[in-house]
A and B are shown apart, each in its own frame.
Chain A
Amino acid sequence: MTDTPFVQLQGISKHWGASLGVDNLDLSVPRGAFVVLLGPSGCGKSTTLRLIAGLEEADSGRILIDGRDATYASPAERSLSMVFQSYALFPHLSVAENIVFGLKVRKIARDDRDARLKRALALTGLEGYEDRKPGELSGGQRQRVALARAVVADHPLCLMDEPLSNLDAKLRHSVRQEIRALQRRLAMTVIYVTHDQTEAMTMADMVVLMKNGRIEQSGSPAALYKRPATSFAANFVGSPPMSLLPGTAVAAVTGHFPDPEAVTIGLRAESVRLAGTHDAIVHGSVRQSEFLGAETFVVLEMPGEGTLTARLAGEVDLSPGSSVGLAWDWADVHLFDRESGNRLPGLSDPAAWNKSAPSGEVASTAPGSCAAEQE
């Protein structure tokens, strides 16, 4: 792995008439990394991928692949492969013919072609299916054929556009691991598009969270989980998503709180615990509880507004409507600016705030606000 990024987007924009595609995007993908573009539908992640593939042409900006300017190169010249959401297998060709389609087009010698086919079939566990037509395969097998077609040419870069969305949940889990193993084994650089945060968190070296054609936050899955840069990131990453409460809801019960009107409070489910009457910071009423075996997620309605999800170990029997006391460490609380959604410095010592700061003055002028760092 060298220091120069393998794929680099510099100020890439792509607009569809008035609607937004991708807006002034900068992105660096290190060589050999598994990078996941994550975001809700319409956030521009697929457009970004198609721009890298060369299936769309950028309105402005530059695309560098392996140090070469590929902004106006045709897809074939970018030496990359792609796995489509629909797999895009040629229905009239057999599995083997599908896999070697590109090699044949590029006039690779027959011996070489056969050797590569054999290897790709072995890598994806498709031996014995060479002569089947895609129509005779299951969804999982088709997905493997698409993967085999992507790895057969040994391209250093592989793009994947929601490759698992047509598989059932159980298969998705195992294919996730297989794709990751394959990527490591072949030392491919993979750029992977998904709207499923679980896929992003479990597979990625680097997650690029997108919203409205811009990058909301990028970093390792752990960084996104532990320090979401915005309330959007906090709510999108993690299962269940981080509970977001208006500052006023907490201020109402704690008495003191820095500028409750201007902040949103974020709490991970695992940060919330049940508490007795003395320790409880707030009391909430149980809306529903989801028992998952090792843990139970309890959704609670807060006295002011909003809901809070708490992750409790084992089976917890709480009937809906009952009132429970809740507590958390103030260090686990994430604070976001209510207007912009940007992250604010945490409440490392709320006790100090409670004493020194009269409510309504502190947070808006907090030093070292993250807002500036985000752009």
Chain B
Amino acid sequence: MTAGRSHETRRYALYGWLLLTPAVALMSLFAFIPAGATAWASLFSRGTNRRPAHFAGLDNYTQLFADPTFAKVVTNNLLYAGVTIPVSTAIALGMALWANARIPARGFVRAAYFTPTMLPMIAAANLWLFFYTPGIGVIDKIAGLFGFGPTNWLGQPDTALWAIIVVTIWKESGFFMIFYLAALQTIPPDLHEAARIEGAGRWTYTRRVLLPLLMPTTLFILVNALINSVKLIDHLFILTKGGPDNASKLILYWIWEMAFSYFDAPHAAAMTVLVLIVLGIVAAIQFRVIDRRAHYR
């Protein structure tokens, strides 16, 4: 009896593993093994022909923390995330509420909002390069109408990062809007009518009913925006290459440079591990905190 049962259990376990195998194989090949290898590589010194790599413990990490460029890049990325995440989420929500209302040419408005998302980031960055061009770019042309002189938006340390931030917000808001729009469509119009009868104005309805019901979507968007604030660096290659003087350099760009321009794989690996750890912690906090306040149907 028990033998038969354990046989049965083992058979089910076998089925389970067989079903998991394709996913496990692919995930291992492209995610788990590279991640493990990166973590492992970050513990070794940089190998050259004369001095092969040797185990260095946490040396790479201590060196990173002492490096002013690393500090600068981390500060940049924090500012970048701190501005792009809330601003693009807020704009996305605003646009979704607007595009969900009964307005003329609703389809056109939605499509227009979504267009930046359909463009490849490289193409969008090239577009913005023309906007930002000192003197002849659209932005300076418009500024000129009001009597302002030309500004090298991408070329000076004070404005370069902010110029990048604007491009990112422009690119991301339309994408996030689609999620909000989809979520808004699932909220029955009855709720608004019931709220109106109960005496709630537009703002009360938005605050007490709409925003809480959109919370799961907001959580999803915040996590995505967080990931993008680290992941999305395509436009840096076109617009500033991280300059001037590292003013617009973000961490992933710095990792890329470290690994493929300076061929310092161990330091790049160490930074990658740090990024993974930080992202993991932040995502966990986001889920914990917002999950309690989100209502899932």
Which residues does A use to contact B, with CB under 8 Å? Answer: 53-55, 74-76, 80-82, 84, 86, 88-92, 101-102, 105-106, 133, 135, 149, 153
Contact = CB atoms under 8 A, between A and B. Distances in A.
A75 B196 contact: yes
Nearest to A90: B209
Given A88-B193, A88-B194, A102 B199 contact: yes
A149 B200 CA distance: 14
Contacts of B190: 84, 86, 88
Contacts of B295: 91-92, 133
A55 B297 contact: no
SS of B interface (majority)? helix
A55 B212 CA distance: 24
A30 to B, nearest CB: 23
Nearest to B204: A105
Top 6 closest pairs, chain A to chain B, by CB: A102-B198, A92-B295, A88-B190, A76-B199, A88-B194, A92-B212
B213 A84 contact: no
Nearest to A81: B197
SS of A interface (majority)? loop
Contacts of B197: 53-55, 75-76, 80-82, 102
A156 B204 CA distance: 24
Contacts of A102: 197-200
Nearest to A83: B194
A54 B199 CA distance: 12
Contacts of A133: 295
6 contacts: A76-B198, A101-B195, A102-B199, A102-B200, A106-B199, A135-B297
A286 B188 CA distance: 49
Contacts of B193: 53, 55, 75, 82, 84, 88
Nearest to A102: B198
Contacts of B213: 91-92
Contacts of A80: 197
A180 to B, nearest CB: 22
Contacts, number: 65
Contacts of B200: 76, 101-102, 105
Given A91-B213, A92-B212, A92-B213, A55 B204 contact: no
A82 B194 contact: yes
Given A91-B213, A91-B297, A92-B212, A86 B196 contact: no
Contacts of A153: 198
Contacts of B215: 92
Interface string B172-199: 0000000000000000101101111111
Contacts of B195: 90, 101, 105
B22 to A, nearest CB: 36
Given A75-B196, A84-B193, A88-B191, 20 more contacts: A55-B196, A75-B197, A76-B197, A86-B188, A88-B193, A88-B194, A89-B194, A90-B191, A90-B208, A90-B209, A91-B213, A92-B213, A92-B215, A101-B198, A101-B200, A101-B208, A102-B198, A105-B199, A105-B204, A149-B198
Nearest to A92: B295
Contacts of B297: 91, 135
B244 to A, nearest CB: 49
Given A55-B196, A82-B197, A102-B198, A88 B188 contact: yes
A74 B297 CA distance: 31
B167 to A, nearest CB: 36
Contacts of B191: 88, 90
A74 B196 contact: yes
Interface string B201-232: 00010001100110100000000000000000
B197 to A, nearest CB: 5
Contacts of A82: 193-194, 197
A86 B199 CA distance: 19
A373 B99 CA distance: 51
Contact of A84 (B194, B208, B209): B194
Contacts of A84: 190, 193-194
Nearest to A100: B198
A96 to B, nearest CB: 14
Contacts of A89: 194
Contacts of A91: 213, 295, 297
Given A55-B193, A91-B297, A92-B212, A105 B198 contact: yes
A86 to B, nearest CB: 5
Contacts of B212: 92
Nearest to B211: A92
A345 B199 CA distance: 51
Nearest to A106: B199
Q: Which of A53, A54, A76 gathers the greatest number of chain B CB atoms within 10 Å?
A: A76
A81 B208 CA distance: 19
A86 B194 CA distance: 11
A92 B215 CA distance: 10
A76 B196 contact: yes
A153 B199 CA distance: 11
A193 B196 CA distance: 20
Contacts of A90: 191, 194-195, 208-209
Nearest to A146: B194
Q: Which of A54, A74, A81, A101 gathers the greatest number of chain B CB atoms within 10 Å?
A: A101
Nearest to A84: B190
A107 B200 CA distance: 11
A102 B197 CA distance: 8
A54 B204 CA distance: 18
A106 B196 CA distance: 12
Q: Which of B193, B212, B295 gathers the greatest number of chain A CB atoms within 10 Å?
A: B193
A76 B198 CA distance: 6
Q: Which of A54, A82, A89, A106 gathers the greatest number of chain B CB atoms within 10 Å?
A: A82
B109 to A, nearest CB: 23
A82 B209 CA distance: 18
B49 to A, nearest CB: 64
B1 to A, nearest CB: 41
